[in-house]
Amino acid sequence: MKNQLLLPIATATALLCFLGNAVAQTDTLKKIKDSGVITMGVRDGSGAMSYTLGPGVYTGFHVEVCERVIADVKKALGVQKLDVKYLLVTPQNRIPLVQNGTVDIECGTTTNNTARQKDVAFAPTLYVEGVRVAVKKASGITSTSQLIGKTVGATSGSTAVQQLRKLKRDGGGGEVGELFAKDNSEGFLLLESDRVQGFIADGQILATLISKSKDPSQYELLDQVLSVEPIAIMLPKGDPGFKKLVDQSVLAIAQSGEAARLYDKWFMKPIPPSSLKVGLPPNALTQAAWKGPSDKPMEAYEVK
């Protein structure tokens, strides 16, 4: 009798595994085609990568890259009209919103790392960032070692939090106070108001925030790069068809030279609304990413 029960149980287990795998597979392209809408996750204060010009209006390097990708999606689907819905996401909710299908393509400043690859997928990288620290020049701080005994800020939900914790661990027993902000703008305000003596974030975000401040000459970025991070478009996991199409589009943007042109537009020339320049030339890793885009995680990059 015991042996007779094993086959049905094994069959049921196999069926449950099959169904579980089937549920895990998503068809974003079908959803987009059926609804006539694609939802783009955007940020309102991620430097020149993704920011707002007013209610419901978003722009930036990564936003424009995604708009080109969406044009290719529309062409591949063969639809006459495809509405783009811009949805503001935060560092705290961006991954869950991609996971549950609310966001089809996230175009902010999300680092591709191995932990996140368990939950979401990433397109090839067109921008490789160095996480750094912004300080006030008047503080006299010229290295991260001088942050021991001081308070440092970071945006909650960002990889900068990990770098802040590492800074504390490497402090040789000295204390490093931590203060978290809900977003990058609030984090920089902590530095402006002297509530923190250093603010950790992506270098381009810091450079953009400094350029927009009341007196940019008051601030500087420490030379030390805390981590090298590939910033990439985030996609639903378990959808090879959608990822393949997005990957092909991103590769074409890189190979045509469009990625370099877009970078020059957003980081080296005046940008709206104030016609300020970020003034951050592309680093060697970003230029290498344009020559050979890949979706490798940050753990594959070395801090030099």
- Class of domain 130-228 (CATH, top level): alpha beta
Whether 27-126+232-300 and 130-228 share one fold: the answer is yes
Domain regions of the chain by residue span: 27-126+232-300, 130-228
Residue with tokens 């920011």: 51
27-126+232-300 CATH: 3.40.190.10
286 by Cβ neighbours in 10 Å (0-12 / 13-18 / 19+) ranks as buried
pLDDT digits 0-9 by tens, 254-289: 999 999 999 999 999 999 999 999 999 999 999 999
DSSP state of 82: -
Q: What pTM, to 2 d.p., does this model score?
A: 0.82
Averaged pLDDT in 10-residue chunks for the chain of 304 residues: 40 38 70 98 95 96 98 97 97 96 97 97 96 97 94 94 87 81 95 98 94 95 93 97 98 98 97 93 95 96 70
Alpha helices in 105-226 (DSSP H): 160-169, 184-192, 203-212
